[in-house]
Amino acid sequence: MKSKVRELRQAAGLSQGALGEAVGVSRQTINALETGRYDPSLTLAARLARHFGSTIEEIFDVVED
């Protein structure tokens, strides 16, 4: 799944580790999200949206089948 996590994180001046710590996941999970290798749970997506003051739809490009 495509996402805007990387650009939002870089705009906020955060490292992957710092963002991971802020939302309760590992640096590798943030990296996997940014590279589209991992689809987050609804809980993590909501946590990221709240962290960036955005919505899940704005951050994640959910492609409908």
Partner 1 sequence: MSLRTDRLPVSRVNIVLVSAFVVGGLVTLVLGHVLQAAGLFLAGAGGLHCALWARRPTARDVTRLNALEWRDERDRRLGKDALSVVGATALALSVVELVVVSILALDAALWLAWVQVLVLGTVWGVSNSVAVRRG
Question: Interface residues with partner 1 (CB under 8 A)?
Answer: 17, 24-26, 28-29, 32, 38, 40-41, 43-44
CB of 59 to partner 1, least distance (A): 16
Whichever of 11 and 15 has its CB closer to partner 1, that residue is: 15
CA of 1: how far to CAs of 13, 17, 18, 37, 54, in Å? 23, 21, 22, 7, 17
Q: What is the rounded distance in angstroms from the CA atom of residue 57 to the CA atom of residue 16?
A: 21
CB of 29 to partner 1, least distance (A): 4
Whichever of 42 and 63 has its CB closer to partner 1, that residue is: 42
Q: What is the rounded distance in angstroms from the CA atom of residue 17 to the CA atom of residue 20?
A: 5
